[in-house]
Amino acid sequence: MRAALNRANFVGGLFSFRNIKSMSSSSSQNFVSRSVIKKVFAKLQKEGDGAVVRRGISRSEQKLLDPFLMLDEFSVSPPAGFPDHPHRGFETVTYVLEGGITHQDFKGHKGTIYAGDVQWMTAGRGIIHSEMPEEEINKGLQLWINLSSNEKMIEPNYQELSSSDIPKAEQNGVQVKVIAGESMGIKSPVYTRTPTMFLDFTLDPGAQFHQKVPESWNAFAYVLESGEGGAVFGSSNASPVSSHNVVVFEQGNDGVSVWNKSSSKKLRFVLIAGEPLGEPVVQYGPFVMNTQAEIDMTIEDYHYGKNGFEMAKYWRSQ
């Protein structure tokens, strides 16, 4: 937390920067946008059983994007999928874009989420589950959000929202689905233990928008669809970003400005931001704790079926 605060103070301290940075306007108000500090192309990689994901955020971005641990854009067809595997110490957010994903866990929780639906799963002290595709083509995003040290061992919890539960708004050629947080004056019903904003934006050709983001939060965008040269972030003369790229924003300023410079195609991207935890992160695959000793304990708990993994020995998905 200390590093994050210092960084925010540092940016805030350079108050004269506000005057020379590019301004964007929205509803007759002026905003100063964060600039892009890093761009990451989400490369294809194998995960689960025969599944291929585009990993946009991985270990190399974890420091810059605390509290976020991973972002995968998945596209999976049966018989591939993500069979029985555990999680501890964080939350997974699954947002289906096409098709469906069926989830089963070791406590009997089961269900299928389809295009537009969200499953916000708090793994806490332990979940073992399978996540398998339902249709021929199944696409979406899975985001991993870290939990603070005092919430890593809480009871697992699910928040499931069908597409119709997700608040939507539109103004000046900009549509937003508010998966977490607030935009255009509307709020998501999701409770975020680690304060998080998760917005799905679609901009008509030529549209522009500014989204406010708290100064100390880390923020990034992931481009899902864009026309050639369409997706411009931070400053109206910045270089455009292609699909399947993560853009990481600096901290500070009022938020994030975006322009769809394409004259024919819509721009779709997600904007995700969160309050940094400022804690050490030790990750061993699907276990994320603060220290190596806690990881060793987790491997032992999983192996012997203790401290939340009691059903590990008996349960298999159907």
Nearest by Cα to 177 from 161, 193, 192, 188:
188
Binding residues for ligand FJE, how many (CB under 6 A)?
13
Chain Cα centroid distance, residue 237: 26
- Under the binding rule (CB under 6 A), the answer on residue 89 touching ligand FJE is no
- Under the binding rule (CB under 6 A), the answer on residue 105 touching ligand FJE is no
12, 48, 167, 305: which one contacts ligand FJE (CB under 6 A)? 48
Which two structure tokens, joined as six digits, stand for 266? 């819509």
- Residue 137 · residue 75 · CB < 8 Å: yes
> What x/- string results for residues 58 through 77 when contact with ligand FJE is judged by CB under 6 A?
--------------x-x---
Question: Smallest distance from the beta carbon of 133 to ligand FJE, in angstroms?
Answer: 8
Query: Which one, 23 or 299, has the nearer CB to ligand FJE?
Result: 299
Helix, strand and coil in the chain, % to nearest 5: 10, 50, 40
Question: Smallest distance from the beta carbon of 156 to ligand FJE, in angstroms?
Answer: 15
Task: Please classify residue 282 by burial: count the beta carbons closer than 10 Å to its beta carbon, then call 0-12 exposed, 13-18 middle and 19+ buried.
Answer: middle
Of 47-55, 223-231, 235-243, 302-310, the segment contacting ligand FJE by CB under 6 A is 47-55
Query: Which one, 142 or 243, has the nearer CB to ligand FJE?
Result: 142
Residue 89 to residue 289: CA distance in whole angstroms: 6
Query: Which one, 88 or 210, has the nearer CB to ligand FJE?
Result: 88
Query: Which one, 101 or 180, has the nearer CB to ligand FJE?
Result: 101
106, 286, 308, 312: which one contacts ligand FJE (CB under 6 A)? 286
Q: What is the CA radius of gyration of the chain?
A: 20
- Under the binding rule (CB under 6 A), the answer on residue 117 touching ligand FJE is no
- Under the binding rule (CB under 6 A), the answer on residue 53 touching ligand FJE is yes
Q: Which amino acid is at 99?
A: G
Q: List the beta bridge partners of residue 174.
A: 171, 203
Residue 178 to residue 184: CA distance in whole angstroms: 9
- Under the binding rule (CB under 6 A), the answer on residue 109 touching ligand FJE is no
285, 291, 296, 304: which one contacts ligand FJE (CB under 6 A)? 285
Three-state SS across 13-69? HCCCHHHHCCEEEECCEEEEECCEEEEEECEEEEECECEEEEEEECHHHCCCCCCEE
3-class SS at 242?
Answer: coil
Site residues for ligand FJE, 121-140, by CB under 6 A, read 131
Q: Which residues bind ligand FJE (CB under 6 A)?
A: 47-48, 53, 72, 74, 82, 85, 94, 101, 131, 142, 285-286
